[in-house]
Amino acid sequence: MRHVAPLAVAAVLLAGCGDSAGPSPRATPSLANGETGTGSAPAAQPGVPDGGVAAGHGADAGERFAQRVRGRVEVPPSDRTPPLALLRLQTGAEAVVHDSPVRPTPRPAVRLTRPELRATALIRDADGGTGRVRVSIVYATRCDGAERQHAAYFPPAQLETIRIAPGVRVPAERVRSGRVAFPPGCTVSGKAFAEATNAHSLESFSDPIWFEYRPF
């Protein structure tokens, strides 16, 4: 495992619905495929499948992301079903959406048109209630022959367990957005995914969206 260097880029938190519950019980969240680095990205695809509506798992993921759920639900005494996790990534004028669970075979990487990444994570649990949702971005930059590993989390990781008492009314859905700006003139590759935790601390991960950026 390579050491994750301090971010050499600006990571800016965008406006979102926010989370009333705290972050998850670990300093660095485990990646959706169990790795701690960017790994090897699949070959990039020139365009976005499904007409830019929802890449990765057909139009269904994009439709589920668009069909927002409002209101609050009462946390039940117990819950055995994990929440739904969705991640929407802007590639430029288009958007890619992946949902949970993680698939065994990664999709081809998408190409970003600008040196930045904008992503929105969504958690939905209409029967058990939501706890927290996080945007996780893990990537490598290659600048003038030097390669560095980076990670950005929105919200930042902290040591705190998500568990909400039965009877408390919590949102059925939460949204969190994040933006990472890459250094100019650098090649970038990595992946982004949503980490969703419900009121009973059950977790789901969206299938990672692999991405690449090339300045030329």
pTM: 0.74
Query: Domain residues of the chain, as ranges?
Result: 10-213
pLDDT band of 208, cuts 50, 70, 90: very high
Q: Does 79 score more than 50 pLDDT? A: yes
pLDDT at 161: 83
Q: Does 77 score more than 90 pLDDT? A: yes
pLDDT band of 28, cuts 50, 70, 90: very low
Q: Does 21 score more than 50 pLDDT? A: no
pLDDT 10s digits, 156-172: 987 678 899 999 999 99
Q: Does 46 score more than 70 pLDDT? A: no
Q: Does 57 score more than 90 pLDDT? A: no
- Rounded mean pLDDT, 183-207: 96
pLDDT at 94: 87
CA 209 to chain centroid, in Å, comes to: 8
pLDDT at 138: 97
For 90: left if phi > 0, alpha if psi spans -120 to 50, otherwise beta; the answer is beta
Q: In what order do the strands lie in the sheet with 10-12?
A: 10-12, 173-181, 116-124, 84-90, 95-99
pLDDT at 25: 34
Query: Is the CATH code 2.70.50 the one for domain 10-213?
Result: yes
Q: Does 180 score more than 90 pLDDT? A: yes
Q: How many CB atoms lie within 10 A of CB 6?
A: 6
143 vs 4, 109, 124, 157, 187, CA distance in Å?
Answer: 16, 20, 39, 27, 7
CA distance 18 to 28: 20
User: Of all residues in the chain, what percent carry a pLDDT higher than 90?
Assistant: 64
pLDDT band of 60, cuts 50, 70, 90: confident
pLDDT band of 41, cuts 50, 70, 90: low
- Average pLDDT over all residues of the chain: 79
CA distance 189 to 63: 27
- Rounded mean pLDDT, 8-34: 38
